Amino acid sequence: MPSPLRALLAATSALLGILAGPLAIAAPAAPAFSKLPSIQAPDDLWDFASWDEAHHRLLVAHGKDVLLVNPATRDVRSIGQIAYAHAVVPLPGQTRILVTSKLDNTVRILDADRGAELVRIPVAQDPDATVLSANGHTAYVMAAKAGVISVIDLDRMVETRRIPLKTGLEVAVLATPSLLAVNTEDFNEIELVDLVDNKHVGAIPLPGCEGPTGLAMGPGTLALSACANGKAALVDIAHRKVVRLLPIDQDPDTAIWDAAHHRFLVPCGGNGRLSIISLDKSGPHVRPSVETGPEARTAALDPATGRLYLPSARLNPVIKGQPRTVQPASFRIIALSPR
């Protein structure tokens, strides 16, 4: 068994014993969140959002730029000139942020305070979701069409290598500091990558899960993979298996572990709902979903307050051969506060 997995095994037994019991679907109860006033922002398409904990702000990959949103003051700034922003992450200990730029196959490093672009790094085709190493010195960029991971040295601001995987790479998480797990939408599985040797070390098939996108690590060895067919797969990374399929809403693109409330949050844009799956000693519980807004399929969590922020907008009907467009004055940040 690859060495990064050995450290995971000790914590699994109790969790798996819990999960062996029947699935509990919670009875109707008070909603888990209440809505706060939305924050209006410029219209554009969008993709991933992230929370910049050091500066208490929301970052949104927002079409041709990046949005910096201060929920406390409701101030919104647009920075950068991006060729379709896919993902944005804050770099620890800095005011810099990393943005993946889909259409020109680059990673941009921006100074968030000045709004200036500092460097443009060529990477593999279709850079999408990104995760930082445990020490914050390396970025792993999922190149979806190329089927590789571009590895970025954030100290030298260069791509140092490419790790071959499979096409359709989506969200990645650190299962351990030395083991990366990434959803592959084209193959309905989770790929595992040894970050010490920078090589593919196996895959976890996700039977019953079609088009996995969002992925979040929960307690111990458990992860949740959000699927396009109204399911989420609860996965034991250490033992490389699905332990439970759970119902969720339609069209998710993100999954988030809310550690303070011991629950997974899955924004679903297809019907504008937030699916909630809690874990406790009796097992996983599918909680009543919460209304969000049109196309709200990504989100970011502020762990200090438990508030969830979801970009949302109404989209115009699809015109064959034309890119999707946003209805005027409909883009906003939906804010949910835990009850």
Domain ranges of the chain: 1-46+213-339
- Model pTM? 0.92
Q: At a CB cut-off of 8 Å and minimum separation 6, what does 132 contact?
A: 89, 91, 92, 138, 139, 140, 154
Provide the pLDDT for residue 299. Answer: 98
> What is the rounded distance in angstroms from the CA atom of residue 41 to the CA atom of residue 278?
32
The predicted-structure confidence for 318-333, as pLDDT tens digits, reads as follows 888 888 899 999 999 9
| Angstrom distances, CA of residue 259 to CA of 48, 177, 307 | 20, 18, 12
CA 269 to chain centre: 14
Provide the pLDDT for residue 15. Answer: 53
Cα 168-147-256 angle, rounded to 5 deg: 50
Cα 69-74-77 angle, rounded to 5 deg: 40
| CATH code given to domain 1-46+213-339 | 2.130.10.10
Q: Which of 311, 330, 323, 337 is nearest to 66 (CA)?
A: 311
The predicted-structure confidence for 42-75, as pLDDT tens digits, reads as follows 999 999 999 999 999 999 999 999 999 999 999 9
Provide the pLDDT for residue 11. Answer: 46
Cα dihedral 330, 256, 4, 141 in deg (nearest 10): 10
> What is the rounded distance in angstroms from the CA atom of residue 32 to the CA atom of residue 94?
34
Q: Which of 136, 200, 133 is nearest to 166 (CA)?
A: 200
Q: For residues 294 and 272, is the Cβ–Cβ distance under 8 A? A: yes
Length of the chain: 339
The predicted-structure confidence for 7-27, as pLDDT tens digits, reads as follows 445 444 445 554 555 554 444
Q: For residues 303 and 324, is the Cβ–Cβ distance under 8 A? A: no
> What is the rounded distance in angstroms from the CA atom of residue 331 to the CA atom of residue 31?
24
Counting as low any pLDDT under 50, the low residues of the chain are 1-2, 4-5, 7-8, 10-14, 18, 24-27
Provide the pLDDT for residue 250. Answer: 96
